Structure 1
């Protein structure tokens, strides 16, 4: 029960737009660590050379979640599919964004993901929004969470100061991150096709 209270407090902070990763490099806004979403143990070991130059934004194209409780279950579902069904070493993404306004730690800043193919996985951070954004947009609190995470990545030295954001479809043949989310990220200052 205490864990859910902490998550609800983080969600409230996210909704209010509080927290600033630029002032505190260790504060990426409300990030739910792996232990709190009860992640399976990672078997990954390949690291990323930092600072990373690229960020690839995708969507899971599966169920969305709008409460910490639902998002905890959804991130576990995504990890189970990637690790147990597909046989990967862990969840594919470095971070996942819930519609609850929280960031869920996947492989984190240091480990190479399996989100965008052999060429891009070795030089990018993969951030996936949980849900399908072909016909609808993520809520503002989820978009703010992603922006805060990017600012934090720069502040902590994990992302290059001149990093570029790309949509999953910019680097691989896919519909991800969905038409609506893609139109949004194309307006971000760091977006490059």
Structure 2
């Protein structure tokens, strides 16, 4: 009796071990990603009534968490977006093995060759009051702005300035979100605004044909520091190399197309010496 009992227990252990090992191997080797077949919103819940977390660019992927929900007859897939639950309409993604067999998908905003981009989730962005409108064509303009605000030199300071900008744009101007595509601080970081693929509210009459980078601070009487300038130049080059702006894009200051002092005299004089101005 005791002998049979021990044999049965040992067999149970061996069976459990191989089941566990099989699950571990599967989870390591068979990670799937949801890859966008066109630019598509990632939402904080299944269905179009939920807030937009980001816009996933064509060909970019997020890790598929294995869950689906059907809302109003449409299937939505659950993805990981910087540690948060995201949901994408399944009609606009293809589920496939992640690049690198099990490695997490790359960020939708951090493209090859870009400087470090602090995502909306990282800096604590509010959700837009309505979904972003997607750009319908590759932008042909890259606009440079300044915030005409105090400067920031650390990630903590710049994060607070970006939050303040979003609050001002949404609560003061009544916009659905922060105005700019990206912001840059003198800490050398780029901060995600509306990102690569959304229409902004930065440059009147040009929002649907241009992206905008705002350098945090007031550059009427001095230039941004090297950390900020290098980040701006790298971001523009990254946009060009990843086809987020046209090959023949035009670099412009805000004042070139509007009655404003933006981006400040010193910064404006500098960007006029840059390529594509």
Q: Which category describes the TM-score, using the shorter chain as reference length?
A: 0.7 to 0.9
Alpha-carbon contact 1:65-1:98 (below 8 Å) kept: yes
Match of 2:188 in 1: 101
* Inter-partner Cα distance in structure 2 for 1:126 and 1:45: 15
Counting strand residues as a fraction of each chain, which structure ranks higher?
A: 2
CA displacement 1:105-154 (0-9 Å, x = unmatched): 0000111111111x211110011111100011100111110111111112
1:89-168 equivalences in 2 (<5 Å): 89-117=176-204, 119-168=205-254
TM-score, normalising length: structure 1: 0.83
TM-score, normalising length: structure 2: 0.58
How many aligned positions are there? 167
CA displacement 1:20-43 (0-9 Å, x = unmatched): xxxx94441111000000000123
Whose RCO is larger (CA < 8 A, sep 6+)?
Answer: 1
* 1:39 aligned to which of 125, 128, 136: 125
Structure 2: stretches of 5+ with no match in the other structure? 1-109
CA RMSD of aligned residues (A): 1.3
Which 4+ stretches in 1 moved above 2 angstroms? 24-27
Match of 1:77 in 2: 164
* Inter-partner Cα distance in structure 1 for 2:150 and 2:239: 27
CA displacement 1:137-185 (0-9 Å, x = unmatched): 1001111101111111122221111111001000000000000000110
Alpha-carbon contact 1:96-1:129 (below 8 Å) kept: yes
Instruction: Please tell me whether Structure 1 or Structure 2 has the larger radius of gyration of its CA atoms.
Output: 2
* Inter-partner Cα distance in structure 2 for 1:156 and 1:25: 7
Structure 1: stretches of 5+ with no match in the other structure? 1-23
